Structures are given as C-alpha cells and as structure tokens.
C-alpha cells in the first residue's frame, strides 16, 4: 500500500522575489506595477489620424505642433501618444521613431491597414519607450520593428498580424510582457546580437512561431503560453527557457528546436507535439535540460549528431508514441529522469553516455529486475536500446521505486504574496521513508 504524507511548510520568502514588482528608478522602459496592476496614465482626447507619424529626434516639435502629443520627455512626464486610431487604408505605415533617448509612451491606441511595403511601428536607435495596451491589425509587413534599441517595454498589446514583433541589430534590454499574439506567421523574431531581453507572460495562438536567431544571447523566455506555437533557437548561447507551457497539434514540427549551446531549459510543460518535445539538432553542446514534463509527443527529447556534453536530468517523459529519448551525440548525461508509458523509453546511438550517477540513475517503468536488498535501486542494470548494439548502453543503478508524486494544494500556481505564504502539499510514494525540502526562486520542490 502506498504511504501518504501530509506536509505543511511555512516558507519565508523575500518579498522582492515573489511579489516581483517591475519598479525601476534608473530605467524607464519597464512599467511600474502595483497591487492593482499597471498604473493608469492620464487620459487624452480621442484622435483619428490618417497621416504617418514620423519623429526623428524632434519629440518637442511634435508635441508643440500636434494636440495628440503631450508631455516633456522626462521620466516623470514622458511624451505621450494615447487614444489614437490610425487606419492607413493601405497608403503608408503608422509610426516611425528615430534617434531619440527621450522618455515616451504610446498607449491605448489602434493601428491597422498599412501599405504593402510598410511596417506598423518602426523604432530605430531609440531608448526609453513604452508601447502598451494597443492593437495592431492587418499590418502588411511586421507589426512592431525595433533596430538598435534599448530599454523598450512592449506590454499588454494584441497583435493580429502575420509578423507581430521583430527585434534585430543590437536590441538589448527589451521587455516583451503580457501580449496576445495571434498569427500564422512568426510571432516574435529576434536576430543579430539582441541580448539581455525578457519575454514573459505572453500568449501565442493559432500556428505561431518564435525565432531566436544568430548571436542573440542571455535572453529569458519565461511563463509564456504557446498554443500551437513552436520555439526555435539557432546559433546563440546562454539563453533560458523557463516555466512555459506548450501544446502543439497543427504544425508538423518539434516544439522546442535548438541549434545552440549553454541553453537552460527548465520547468516547462510540453503537453503535445507531432515530433519531438525538445530537439537538439546537430552540434548543440553544454545545454542543461531539467525538471521538464513532456507528454504525448512522438519523441520526448532528441539529440542529434555532434550534440555533446549536454545534461538531461529530473525530467518526466510520458506517453511518447515513438522514443522518449534518443541520443546520437557523445558524452551526454541522462540521470534522475522518469520514463513511463512510452513506446520505447530510450535509444542510445552516441558514445560515452552517462545513464547513472554514483548513487542512482533513472526510473524506468519497464525495468524487469528486482531490488532484493530494498535500497530503492535495482540489483541489475537496465539495458538501453541501441541500433549499434553497444554493450555499454546501460543504466547501472536504475531507480526501483516510483518517484514521489507531489500535489500542491496551495498556494495557487502563479500567485503573488506580499508576506510569507503557507505551502500545503501531499507527497505520495511507494516506499517513502525520509524527506527533505528546498524551495527556490524557480518554484522547485525536491523530496
């Protein structure tokens, strides 16, 4: 009979971590968030414009000339364009801003029907801007394009265009937050040295793509929902893919495709995919894939030729109707994972794959050995399938018992607290006789 343990943990967590306000005193390009959400900006009149807005280091002239622009360009009184509708009737683009460090906000506005050769909004060599609570519809090229920009926040917008957001050529410290992206094209494309950006809490719909290409490093993709959308990362390093939810049924593609190094893929939920949940294509080295749950994909995790020195640990791979994990590269480490209800749990056609540490390896639901000494480790190795018939493809210390099942009753997922929370959970395991805990800023709980 399984033992059930009811555990109540009181955790004191630093307010600044859990409540996570976006307040900044030196960088304007992040909205100030309080308990009630984003602070409301002063409302202006409603404007319908038909001519393109062009600003080239002349915000003050624009404010003095047009009633729809207000402010003084400071952090406390930014230049503001709000409550504007721009229906270009296929004649031009909507807004182009160049060569300015003035603080500005474009808010609560709609942009639609640009010319066939025009973007909706184009920013070049711009700092200190916020683009918030706007709608972009039927834009011919890209909805919002940034080149050589820094400290720009793109938040709470709705994009119903083929290419909603495009960052290229040295766009750094860009914050893409809480947008809804509905497209059959590339929802976000980043390329050419776009570093240190945050893409968080966005929702992808339809059959969208997120491309992170060509020397874009140190970016964070976190807490996004990808409904029928895929993430592709090519020729980059040190990016982090954290706490996202993926479900793919339309496109014939892997859900996360990687041709990069030193990438962290942590705590993602991949619920469905016609190919691989996570695919490391050729020559992907030193990536760290851990604490992900992958189910109902043809292949859970796939490592291609020349993908070496990767660590795959503490993942759950379930209901894969092909192979849960397949390896062609060399010197990879696969430990502490849980394999259950897969057609084939693993295929190892690489060399020097490490399937266990010194104390334990992985949990295999089809392990046929025994644990006579009741130490939680199988007494005989688990043999890994190999088309090369390699005798060394074995997990020498297979986990005998089921990994504990954790149910967190409270607090609710993604909730925020201004004081210490109570964490109530149930741990269920066949042979649980000791416990230990660690609550980290990545919301991990270890037993």
Instruction: Count CB neighbours of 360 within 10 A.
Output: 19
How far is residue 130's CA from residue 146's CA, in Å, rounded to a whole number? 12
Is 8 a domain residue? Answer: yes
On whether both 287 and 175 belong to a single domain, the answer is no
CA nearest to 275, candidates 299, 303, 296, 247? 299
On whether both 271 and 346 belong to a single domain, the answer is yes
pLDDT reported for residue 429: 63
On whether both 369 and 316 belong to a single domain, the answer is yes
pLDDT reported for residue 25: 30
| Number of helical H runs and strand E runs in the chain | 2, 46
Measure the N-to-C terminal CA separation of the chain; round to a whole number of Å: 20
Q: 201, 216, 231 — which closes off a domain? A: 216
Is 367 a domain residue? Answer: yes
Backbone angles phi and psi of 109, in degrees to 5 = -135, 165
Q: Average pLDDT per run of 10 along the chain, which is 447 residues long?
A: 38 34 38 38 62 94 93 96 88 91 96 82 96 90 93 95 92 96 87 96 85 92 92 94 89 89 96 92 95 95 95 96 95 96 95 94 94 92 86 89 72 77 75 48 39
On whether both 282 and 200 belong to a single domain, the answer is no
Is 176 a domain residue? Answer: yes
Angle among Cα 154, 158, 164 to the nearest 5 degrees reads 70
Q: CA dist 277 to 326, 373, 443, Å?
A: 12, 37, 22
Report the domain count for the chain. 2
* Partners of 25 in beta bridges: none
Inter-residue long-range contacts of 371-374, CB under 8 Å, 24+ positions, other chains counted: 371/400, 371/401, 374/431
pLDDT reported for residue 430: 57
On whether both 198 and 301 belong to a single domain, the answer is no
Q: Is 208 helix (H, G, I), strand (E, B) or coil?
A: strand
On whether both 287 and 366 belong to a single domain, the answer is yes
Residues 6+ apart with CB under 8 A from 433: none
On whether both 2 and 50 belong to a single domain, the answer is no
**H or E element, residue 212:** strand 208-213
Q: C-alpha dihedral over 15, 17, 20, 21, to 10 degrees? A: 60
Q: Which domain holds residue 315?
A: 1-20+249-447
Is 233 a domain residue? Answer: no
On whether both 166 and 259 belong to a single domain, the answer is no
Residues 6+ apart with CB under 8 A from 414: 223
pLDDT reported for residue 185: 81
Instruction: Count CB neighbours of 34 within 10 A.
Output: 10
SS (H, E, C) 74-124: CCCCCEEEECEEEECCCCCCCEEEEEECCCEEEECCEEECCCCCCCCEEEE
**Cβ contact 144:124 at 8 Å:** no
Is 396 a domain residue? Answer: yes
Say if residue 238 is exposed, middle or buried (CB neighbours under 10 Å; 0-12, 13-18, 19+): middle
pLDDT reported for residue 404: 66
Q: 191, 216, 241 — which closes off a domain? A: 216
What is the residue whose two structure tokens read 């993942």?
A: 315
Tokens representing 14 are 């630093």
Is 123 a domain residue? Answer: yes
DSSP assignment of 10-64 equals E----HHHHT-----SS--SS--EETTEEPPPPP---EEE-S-EEEES-HHHHHH
Say if residue 299 is exposed, middle or buried (CB neighbours under 10 Å; 0-12, 13-18, 19+): buried
pTM: 0.80
On whether both 297 and 398 belong to a single domain, the answer is yes
On whether both 12 and 153 belong to a single domain, the answer is no
On whether both 150 and 286 belong to a single domain, the answer is no
On whether both 209 and 279 belong to a single domain, the answer is no
**Omega prior to 105 cis, within 30 of 0:** no
How far is residue 256's CA from residue 244's CA, in Å, rounded to a whole number? 11
Tokens representing 193 are 């040295």
Angle among Cα 299, 303, 306 to the nearest 5 degrees reads 160
Q: 216, 231, 265 — which closes off a domain? A: 216
Tokens representing 265 are 């893929």
């Amino acid at each position: 009979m399984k033992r059930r343990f009811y555990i109540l943990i009181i955790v004191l967590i630093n307010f600044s971590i859990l409540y996570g306000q976006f307040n900044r005193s030196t960088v304007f390009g992040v909205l100030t968030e309080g308990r009630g959400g984003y602070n409301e900006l002063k409302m202006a009149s409603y404007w319908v414009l038909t001519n393109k807005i062009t600003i080239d280091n002349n915000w003050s002239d624009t404010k003095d000339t047009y009633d729809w622009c207000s402010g003084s360009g400071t952090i406390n009184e930014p230049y503001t364009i709000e409550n504007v509708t721009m229906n270009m009737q296929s004649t031009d683009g909507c807004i182009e801003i160049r060569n300015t460090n003035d603080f500005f906000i474009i808010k609560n506005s709609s942009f639609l029907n640009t010319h066939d050769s025009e973007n909706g909004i184009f920013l070049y060599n711009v700092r200190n801007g916020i683009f918030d609570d706007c709608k972009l519809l039927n834009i011919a090229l890209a909805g919002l394009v940034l080149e050589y920009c820094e400290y720009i926040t793109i938040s709470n917008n709705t994009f119903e265009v083929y290419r909603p957001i495009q960052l290229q050529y040295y766009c750094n410290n860009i914050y893409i937050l809480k947008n809804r992206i509905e497209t059959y094209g590339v929802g976000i494309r980043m390329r050419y040295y776009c570093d240190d950006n945050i893409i968080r809490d966005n929702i992808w719909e339809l059959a969208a793509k997120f491309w992170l290409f060509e020397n874009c490093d140190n970016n964070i993709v976190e807490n996004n929902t990808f409904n029928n959308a895929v993430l592709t990362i090519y020729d980059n390093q040190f990016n982090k893919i954290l706490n996202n939810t993926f479900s793919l049924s339309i496109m014939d593609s892997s859900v996360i495709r990687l041709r990069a190094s030193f990438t962290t893929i942590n705590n993602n939920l991949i619920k469905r995919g016609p190919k691989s949940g996570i695919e490391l294509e050729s020559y992907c080295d030193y990536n760290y894939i851990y604490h992900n749950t992958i189910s109902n994909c043809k292949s859970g995790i796939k490592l291609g030729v020349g993908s070496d020195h990767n660590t795959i640990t503490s993942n759950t791979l379930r209901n894969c109707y092909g192979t849960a994990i397949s390896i062609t590269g060399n010197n990879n480490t696969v430990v502490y994972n849980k394999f259950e209800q897969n057609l084939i749990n693993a295929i190892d056609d690489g060399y020097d794959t490490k399937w266990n540490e010194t104390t334990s390896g992985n949990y295999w639901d089809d392990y046929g050995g025994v644990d006579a000494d009741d130490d939680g480790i199988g007494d005989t190795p688990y043999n890994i399938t190999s088309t090369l018939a390699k005798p060394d493809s074995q997990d020498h210390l297979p986990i005998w018992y089921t990994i504990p099942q954790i149910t967190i009753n409270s607090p609710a997922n993604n909730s925020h607290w201004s004081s210490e929370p109570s964490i109530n959970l149930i741990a269920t395991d066949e042979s649980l006789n000791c416990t230990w805990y660690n609550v980290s800023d990545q919301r991990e709980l270890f037993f």
